[in-house]
Structure 1
Amino acid sequence: MYQAVNAILEKHDADVGAAEAHGVAVGMLCVEVKADAANWLHQLFADEHALPDDDKSLLLNLFERTRDLLEPETEEFAFDLFLPDDDEPLNEQVEALRSWCEGFLFGVGYAQSNADWPGDSAEVMRDIVELTKIDSDVEGEEDEAALLEIHEYLRAAVLTVRDLFSEDKNAQLH
């Protein structure tokens, strides 16, 4: 599915690849679980209305599936980053992870424009900003192991940010 989403984004001149597009969606959904998929498409394409229905449907399914996996009732480890398969070259995996982080930061910033970050979310966001500077000149088992650790950290970080924003919204309602 990763390659299919990437192909759609390339075909329609999106400024982002599949990993970054998913990062944007996750960032938006962490801040506002009811985020609108149409807003996401609008961020990805100059004219999302020109997308063929099949392509739009695949992208909207990715967004809604991501929303479902981020629901607090969903099993914690069902959520994952949308990245190339493990059999892709390591430098491409690292580059996709970096792009995912950039997308996530954009998505959170899109949905959360004020500087009021709940709990430890500001610290997590600083960590993710640092990951946008990751070097994709990698090779070998050590770098592969480091990538896996960063990947797992990001999965947990996303759920932390989601929970902190959810708790913050609930506190504001009461």
Structure 2
Amino acid sequence: MTLPTPEDVDQAARGLGLGATPFELHGGLCGWLAGGGENVTDWPARVLADRAAATPAADSPLEQLRSATSAQLEDRGFGFDLLLPQGDAGLDERAQGLFDWCRAFLGGFGLAAGASPPLSEDGQEALADLARLAQASPELSEGEEDEDALAEIEEFVRVAVLLLHGDCVLGPRHRKSLN
């Protein structure tokens, strides 16, 4: 259930000619899956809304990204992680990666969930907050307070994704099994 490194995802994406960063690919994939999109090997074509996008090979880091992400979203222990720039990257680079991740998440979520997803009140609020983050841009700074704030935002995004996945995937699945 371990995500591949951003470098491995980037190299695999470039090899397939995908015009997205590792963070955008993971955000879009998470949005797609959280919105109820099919967990399929041709996910880049669906997430990027590009029918011509190639399907990753079975041993590709992109396939590892899909399978690990799917497993993490289904993990009852809340073991879901975001694929973001590594901790040794600058604060602004990590913040930009998170905002790019959120923008891509919204795109993938919209493609999968459609215009009227079955969201709880908390889910609606979480989606609105993710949309605000997607519009943000980093402010140049490197203080300890900023590091803490970024960590809090990352945790919020992680929990928001799990909430939306619960509303759109786990809730309907549970209701279906009760009938």
Does the CA-based 8 Å contact 2:31-2:109 persist in structure 1? yes
- Report the CA distance between 1:36 and its aligned residue: 1.8
Q: What amino acid maps onto 1:8 in structure 2? A: A
Question: Could you tell me which residue of structure 1 aligns to residue 90 of structure 2?
Answer: 89
Distance in 2 between residues matched to 1:85 and 1:98, nearest whole Å: 15
CA-CA distance at 1:85 after TM superposition: 0.7
Deviation at residue 133 of structure 1 after TM alignment: 1.9
Q: Write the distance in 2 (CA, Å) between the matches of 1:170 and 1:10.
A: 39
Unaligned runs of at least 5 residues, structure 1: none
| RMSD of equivalent CA atoms | 2.3
Gaps of 5+ in 2: none
Contact persistence 1:14–1:46 (CA under 8 A)? no
**Aligned residue number for residue 24 of structure 2:** 20
**Aligned-residue offset at 1:97:** 0.2
Tell me, yes or no, if structure 1 residue 63 matches structure 2 residue 53: no
- The aligned residue for residue 149 of structure 1 is 152
Rounded Cα–Cα distance in structure 2 between residues aligned with 1:46 and 1:114: 21
TM-score (norm 1): 0.85
Shift of residue 72, structure 1, vs aligned partner:
4.1
Corresponding residue SS for 2:54 = helix
Paired-residue identity, %: 28
Whichever structure has more helix as a proportion of its residues is: 1
Count of aligned residue pairs for this structure pair: 169
Write out the 4+ residue segments of structure 1 that deviate beyond 3 Å after TM superposition.
10-13, 43-51, 168-174
Post-superposition Cα deviations, 1:21-64, rounded to whole Å, max 9, x if no partner, equal 001111111122742231x221446643386x47x722011101
The 5 A counterparts of 1:124-143 are 124-139=126-141, 140-143=143-146
